[in-house]
C-alpha cells in the first residue's frame, strides 16, 4: 500500500489551472467562479490542501472525478484538507477537478480560496489543453445565480450560485474547450442594476480580478494588470446588458460622500430616453474596442436575452456601429432564449434548464463558426 505524500503545488509536475491567475504562482488563488485546478492522477486517494477565508458570504466548491460531479459543498474558514477521492483502484489514472463555485465578492473583502497543494499516494500525469480557449464575460447570469435552489427562494446567497450548472461550463464542455470567467452579479456595461456607474465590468476587465476588494485580495495580486499574452483566446462570449436595462427603471444612484449622482432615464411613455440609450450604446462600442485590443484573434460573441430582450436592438445597433467604425467583422450579436416559468430558477434568475437552452444555442453557433474557420 502506497503512503500518502504531501505536495506543494509547485512540486507537482503536471496540473492545469482554469481561470484568470498568475501562471506558476504557488500557492494559487482562485478568484472567479469556474476557476479550478485539474489533475490526472493515479493512486487510491487524493486530498487538496486549501486556505479559505470569508466573513459573511461563504465559499462553495465542487469536486469532479472523471467528469462526474462527486460533491458540492460549503467550505469553513481556515486551513484545511479536503478529500477529493478515497479508496479507489490505484492503477487507473483519474481526471479530477476542484472548482470554485462562488463568484468574486466585492461585498466580502475576506472572501478568497487558495490552493496550497495536494496529498496523493499515486503519480501525476499530463493534463492536455482544451481544443479551444473561451472567455465568458457577464453578470449574475454568467455567475450562475439561481441555478440551485427552489423557484420560491429569493435569498441572495452563495448557496444558490454556481458554475456547475452554468451555460458557460455546458458550452465549454460541449466544445472540449477551456473556459475563463469574469462575471459579477448586478453589474453591467455602463452601470449596475441600481445605476451605480462604478459597477461596470469594462472598468475592471484589464485587472486580474478588480471586482473583489480588500487587502488580502490585493496581496494576492487581484488588482494587478492581467497578462492577456499568457493565453490565446479563440472566442470571447459577452453576456451583459441585463442590469443596464434594469437601471432605467431604478431611482438615481447617489454617493453621499462625494455628491456624485447617476441615472438612466425613461421617457414619460416608458420608452428609453434617446440620449441615455446612446450613452449605453457608446459603452458597448468602447468595450468592444477594449476586448479586441486584448484578444486580437478572438471571435467576439455578444449574447443577450436570458432575462428579457429590452436592449436587444440597442446592443445589436452598437455592435453594427463598432463593426462599421473599426472594420472588424469578427464580431456578432447572438440572441439567447428567454427564461420562462418552466425554466426559471431561484431568485427570479435563469435556472438549470434555461442555462441548458442557452448553451445549446451558443454551442451550435460556435461549432459552426469554428468549423467554417478551419
- Cα distances (Å, whole numbers) of residue 96 to 76, 296, 356: 22, 32, 23
Q: How confident is the model at residue 351 (pLDDT cuts 50, 70, 90)?
A: very high
Residue 94: per-residue pLDDT: 98
Length of the chain: 374
Q: How confident is the model at residue 12 (pLDDT cuts 50, 70, 90)?
A: very high
What's the pLDDT tens digit per position in 202-236? 999 999 999 998 999 999 999 999 999 988 999 99
Q: Where are the domains of the chain?
A: 5-125, 133-373
Please confirm whether the linkage preceding 110 is cis (ω < 30° from 0). Answer: no
- pLDDT, mean of residues 49-69: 97
Is pLDDT of 1 > 90? Answer: no
What's the pLDDT tens digit per position in 82-109? 999 999 999 999 999 999 999 999 999 9
Judge contact between 72 and 60, C-beta under 8 A: yes
Q: What is the CATH number of domain 133-373?
A: 3.40.50.1110
Residues 6+ apart with CB under 8 A from 144: 33, 101, 103, 161, 162, 163, 164, 165, 166, 355
d(CA 294, CA 289): 9
Q: How confident is the model at residue 24 (pLDDT cuts 50, 70, 90)?
A: confident
Q: Note the CATH architecture for domain 5-125.
A: Sandwich (2.60)
- pLDDT, mean of residues 312-318: 98
Mean pLDDT score across all residues of the chain: 96
Percent of the chain's residues with pLDDT above 90: 95
For residue 216, which of 292, 92, 105, 123 has the smallest C-alpha distance? 105
Is pLDDT of 373 > 80? Answer: no
d(CA 350, CA 338): 9
Q: How confident is the model at residue 23 (pLDDT cuts 50, 70, 90)?
A: confident
Alpha carbon 14 to chain centroid, angstroms: 24
Q: How confident is the model at residue 169 (pLDDT cuts 50, 70, 90)?
A: very high
Work out the angle at residue 161's Cα, subtended by the Cα atoms of residues 134 and 97, and round it to the nearest 5 degrees: 55
Question: What SS3 state is found at 148?
Answer: coil
Strand 112-120 to 45-53 pairing: antiparallel
Residue 279: per-residue pLDDT: 98
Q: Which three cell numbers stand for residue 326?
A: 473599426
- pLDDT, mean of residues 138-157: 97
Q: How confident is the model at residue 374 (pLDDT cuts 50, 70, 90)?
A: low
φ, ψ at 176 (rounded to 5°): 65, 35
Question: What SS3 state is found at 230?
Answer: helix
pTM: 0.96
How many Cβ atoms are within 10 Å of 125's Cβ, its own excluded? 15
d(CA 277, CA 288): 17
Residues 6+ apart with CB under 8 A from 170: 355, 356, 359, 363
What's the pLDDT tens digit per position in 152-161? 999 999 999 9
Amino acid at each position: 500500500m502506497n503512503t500518502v505524500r504531501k505536495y506543494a503545488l509547485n512540486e507537482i509536475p503536471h496540473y492545469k489551472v482554469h481561470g484568470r491567475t498568475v501562471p506558476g504562482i504557488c500557492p494559487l488563488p482562485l478568484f472567479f467562479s469556474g476557476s479550478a485546478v485539474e489533475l490526472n492522477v493515479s493512486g487510491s486517494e487524493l486530498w487538496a490542501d486549501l486556505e479559505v477565508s470569508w466573513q459573511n458570504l461563504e465559499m462553495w466548491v465542487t469536486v469532479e472525478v472523471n467528469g462526474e460531479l462527486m460533491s458540492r459543498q460549503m467550505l469553513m474558514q481556515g486551513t484545511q484538507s479536503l478529500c477529493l477521492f478515497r479508496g479507489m483502484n490505484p492503477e487507473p489514472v483519474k481526471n479530477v477537478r476542484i472548482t470554485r463555485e462562488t463568484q468574486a465578492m466585492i461585498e466580502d473583502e475576506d472572501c478568497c480560496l487558495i490552493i496550497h497543494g495536494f496529498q496523493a499516494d499515486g503519480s501525476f500525469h499530463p493534463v492536455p489543453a482544451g481544443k479551444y480557449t473561451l472567455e465568458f464575460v457577464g453578470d449574475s447570469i454568467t455567475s450562475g445565480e439561481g441555478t440551485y435552489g427552489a423557484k420560491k427562494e429569493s435569498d441572495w446567497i452563495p448557496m444558490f450560485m454556481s458554475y456547475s450548472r452554468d451555460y458557460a461550463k455546458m458550452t465549454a464542455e460541449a466544445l472540449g474547450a477551456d473556459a475563463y470567467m469574469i462575471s459579477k452579479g448586478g453589474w453591467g456595461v455602463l452601470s449596475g442594476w441600481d445605476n451605480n456607474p462604478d459597477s461596470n465590468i469594462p472598468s475592471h476587465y484589464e485587472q486580474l480580478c478588480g471586482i473583489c476588494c480588500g487587502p488580502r485580495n490585493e496581496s494576492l495580486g487581484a488588482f494587478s494588470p492581467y497578462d492577456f499574452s499568457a493565453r490565446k483566446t479563440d472566442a470571447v462570449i459577452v453576456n451583459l446588458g441585463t442590469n443596464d436595462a434594469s437601471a432605467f427603471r431604478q431611482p438615481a444612484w447617489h454617493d453621499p460622500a462625494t455628491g456624485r449622482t447617476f441615472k438612466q432615464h425613461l421617457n414619460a411613455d416608458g420608452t428609453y430616453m434617446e440620449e441615455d440609450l446612446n450613452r449605453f450604446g457608446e459603452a458597448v462600442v468602447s468595450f468592444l474596442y477594449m476586448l479586441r485590443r486584448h484578444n486580437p484573434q478572438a471571435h467576439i460573441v455578444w449574447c443577450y436575452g436570458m432575462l428579457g430582450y429590452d436592449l436587444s436592438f440597442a446592443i445589436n445597433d452598437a455592435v453594427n456601429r463598432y463593426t462599421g467604425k473599426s472594420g472588424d467583422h469578427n464580431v456578432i450579436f447572438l440572441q439567447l432564449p428567454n427564461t420562462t416559468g418552466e425554466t426559471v430558477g431561484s431568485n427570479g434568475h435563469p435556472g438549470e434548464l434555461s442555462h441548458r437552452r442557452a448553451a445549446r444555442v451558443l454551442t451550435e453557433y460556435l461549432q459552426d463558426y469554428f468549423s467554417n474557420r478551419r
